[in-house]
Amino acid sequence: MTRAEAAAPAAQALVLNTDVAPAALDPRFPLARRELLAIIQSLLAALGLSGRSLSLTLMDDAAISELNAQFLGCHGPTNILSFPEEDPARPLELGALFLSVETLAREAFLYGQEPPQHLARLLAHGILHLAGHDHGPEMDSMTDMAVCIAVDTVCGGCCCCGTSDF
């Protein structure tokens, strides 16, 4: 699979792929499809990327390990992989995200976070990479701000930044 093949949705749409690795449909996944779409839309808005599109593929550790080795030369699973759109003819397309549901659940437990909150953090991180940001304090603060807004938006304003009530 090339990066271009990984990022194939139409502009201004969110494509959610769950057929790549059926094990990703694990009952531990913290959100229903509509909640997942709402959190992604909230993150895009919070990051000033409304009207942009992306593809999200939910995977298990085995599937993401293969991508991690193929594209980054790293062995073993990772939480999220980001592949920015490389075609200048598709300016509204951010690219493709691949997320391991198993790693998400494991990390949320290890970090003492609720899975939906950790999911929002991973998605914000991945979206920022799609938008061209690199690791560092600016990206960290943008991630924190976007997670705060998205968590508050998706749960109807009942959550505060820094809590795990989501």
- Predicted structure pTM score: 0.80
pLDDT of residue 29: 73
Mean pLDDT of the chain, nearest integer? 80
pLDDT higher than threshold 60 for residue 9 = no
Distance of CA 96 to the CA centre of its chain: 9
The structural domains of the chain, with segments of one domain joined by +, span 3-154
Residues 30-83: tens digit of each pLDDT: 777 888 888 899 999 999 999 899 999 988 899 999 999 999 999 999 999 999
Residue with tokens 């598709």: 90
User: How many Å apart are CA 112 and CA 129, to the nearest integer?
Assistant: 25
Domain 3-154 has CATH 3.40.390.30: yes
